[in-house]
Structure 1
Amino acid sequence: MNYENPLQPPKKEAAISYYSKEQIECPVCGAKFKREEMYSGGGRVIAGDLTDELRRLYEPSAKYGEVHPLIYSMTVCPKCLYAGFTQDFRIVDKATAEKLLEKMDQRHTAVNGLFGRVDFNNARTLHEGAAAYYLALLCYDEFDEKFSPTIKQAICALRAAWLFSTLGEKEPEENYTYISKLFYQKALFLYRRALELETTGKEMIAGLKSFGPDVDKNYGYDGVIYLGALLEYRYGQKADMEMRLKRLSTHKISLAKLFGLGKSSKNKPGPILEHARTLYDSLKAELHETDDD
């Protein structure tokens, strides 16, 4: 038999994350906290398949178990629950900070309604990860258009949908799968709105460092076009079929340009072109078009 040596200290659990040495001061409420970061390397992340929603799946490792890089991307103040992408977190003008502070209680009520309670003072779980994107979605409502808040909200809504979907698989007794569908609907609206605002010049999409949609790769503006089409096809309304077919037809043209140009461009990543071609064929089928049309 193998017995542990009582003189040896107990083995530490394999760490997935750590806290930054530098304290962050919340520009909204003034609270100071350390940001939780995910360790890189060490076999913590084993990349799996890429879904047609451009979400990267990960294989669990023997040492670390399941790892979800997505849950560490947003910076969240544990006191007032102001949340946003890291590059935006400290860039808040006084007027915006005041509005965000006024709505602190609303944010607490909103996340408590979903989870009972989340605590950003402790190591994040899927619950805090999903809550972080929901909170950022609420907070970006107060940001000026120069920060491109709509496309950021779109990405937050999509990532929230992914995480709530995963929570639904793990906790089927809860309503997380239903909540995931609501966030997919929100993501559809926001991707559609972001493209409209960019087209009319009212809000530029270019204000975002990475378009994601996941954290492992930046698919750029092509990813926005593709996801706008995919979400419309998968989650768009079917009550008004004339409107639906009109929107799908517009997306079909955009997709044709995307993978048509991609054939002669080495800068476009292969996976998105493959998914765009598959989606294009699906749109043609719903539109009852053939290759001769």
Structure 2
Amino acid sequence: MQRYAKKFESKNLAVSFYSKQKIMCPFCKKSFAKEEMLTGGGRMIAGSLTDELRRLFEPSAKFGPIYPMIYAVAACPVCHAALLWNDFEHFSDSELIDKIVEDEDTRKKAVETIFPFYDLKRNRTLIDGAAAYYLALLCYEKLSRSYSPTIKKAQICLRLAWLSSDLNDLCPDRGFDYISRRFYLKAMFFYQTALEFETARLEDITAIGNFGPDIDKNYGYDGVIYLCGLLEYKYGQRENISERLKKLDECKRAIARIFGLGKSSKSKPGPLLEHSRDLYDRLTAELKDANVLNLDDDDDE
């Protein structure tokens, strides 16, 4: 794995900087410098928006590939506790602090198993960023519903799926493609569970502030509805076809309610509306094909 270390790094030409004001870890009470990404000078060349609402960035000749989302998680280099920045900087629940402090060794070993040789004391690389997100996922497992952990775990898992896919592009023989798929499945579960909790008033999902799912744009609650349908369509189970078709029909109806059957709406973000129309068409096509096959089977009988 160490022979890939340089692949994780950009060309290291001032991609990031450390803020002058130190950050105090709410868990171990140690301070560390916050690393932030520089955005000017041709570092961020925005590319296409994927159907998963991820903004791709073109690698520049000067700076190489960059991954802006890896700086969105706070990870303490001392105790390896991690959360999204807003939660990290304002965390004060003493009971939960003790739980996370006590879990330090278990958390570090779990992350090292999937993202070996990560280092939180150097300028953050792709594998360090993925490790930071996984540390955060494990920490959110300890938090109460007052922190809206389910929707945050959904967002974190989706980003972990993306970062693991990026790692697989760099290291295709390390099993990161399998890891990416596992995180996609986790993201699907958490997104759908977050909606169920919201509907049942068990957990408020609006406390996340920015629904993302990426860091460049907030697609809001409608984006959550869309992602539930998209992830089910792309990564949902296919062993039980009748159950799959039932789920896809539910997703289609939900998207139709939110986006008006794909009709234009000035109140909806353009890219999200376009992707929703496309997903609605794909869901319709699969459901229609299934009905045709069922009719053919009935005729054979």
TM-score, structure 2 normalization: 0.89
CA distance in 2, matches of 1:284, 1:263: 15
Measured after TM superposition, the shift of residue 132 of structure 1 is 1.3
Corresponding pairs, count: 279
Corresponding residue number in structure 2 for 1:98? 98
Does the CA-based 8 Å contact 2:96-2:143 persist in structure 1? yes
Label 1:270 to 1:144 Cα distance change in 2 as closer, same or farther (>3 A). Answer: same
Amino acid at match of 1:229: G
Please tell me the root mean square deviation across aligned C-alpha atoms, in Å: 1.6
User: Is the aligned partner of 1:61 residue 2:60?
Assistant: yes
Measured after TM superposition, the shift of residue 264 of structure 1 is 5.6
Does the CA-based 8 Å contact 1:71-1:124 persist in structure 2? yes
Does the CA-based 8 Å contact 1:226-1:276 persist in structure 2? yes
Per-residue CA shift, 1:32-68, capped at 9, x if unaligned?
Answer: 1111100122221000000000011001112211111
CA distance in 1, matches of 2:219, 2:88: 23
Does the CA-based 8 Å contact 2:255-2:261 persist in structure 1? no
Corresponding residue number in structure 1 for 2:136? 136
Does the CA-based 8 Å contact 2:23-2:32 persist in structure 1? yes
Does the CA-based 8 Å contact 2:223-2:272 persist in structure 1? yes
Does the CA-based 8 Å contact 2:73-2:133 persist in structure 1? yes
CA distance in 2, matches of 1:48, 1:54: 12
Corresponding residue number in structure 2 for 1:3? none
Measured after TM superposition, the shift of residue 262 of structure 1 is 7.3
Measured after TM superposition, the shift of residue 263 of structure 1 is 4.2
Measured after TM superposition, the shift of residue 289 of structure 1 is 7.1
Does the CA-based 8 Å contact 1:258-1:273 persist in structure 2? no
Corresponding residue number in structure 1 for 2:49? 50
Does the CA-based 8 Å contact 1:49-1:57 persist in structure 2? yes
Measured after TM superposition, the shift of residue 113 of structure 1 is 0.8
- Residue aligned with 1:79, SS: coil
User: Is the aligned partner of 1:166 residue 2:147?
Assistant: no
Per-residue CA shift, 1:176-220, capped at 9, x if unaligned?
Answer: 111001100110110111011011110111001100000111000
Corresponding residue number in structure 2 for 1:39? 38
CA distance in 2, matches of 1:39, 1:195: 35
CA distance in 2, matches of 1:13, 1:135: 24
Corresponding residue number in structure 2 for 1:9? none
- Residue aligned with 1:288, SS: helix
- Residue aligned with 2:121, SS: coil
Alignment of 1:66-105 (within 5 A): 66-90=65-89, 91-105=91-105
Alignment of 1:127-276 (within 5 A): 127-260=127-260, 263=263, 265-276=265-276
CA distance in 1, matches of 2:284, 2:176: 33
Measured after TM superposition, the shift of residue 14 of structure 1 is 2.3
Structure 1 gaps, min length 5: 1-11
| Higher helix proportion (structure 1 or 2) | 2
Q: Relative to structure 2, which stretch is displaced further, 86-95 or 51-60? A: 86-95
Measured after TM superposition, the shift of residue 13 of structure 1 is 5.6
Does the CA-based 8 Å contact 2:262-2:277 persist in structure 1? no
| Identical amino acids, percent of aligned pairs | 54
Label 1:262 to 1:84 Cα distance change in 2 as closer, same or farther (>3 A). Answer: farther
- Residue aligned with 1:185, SS: helix
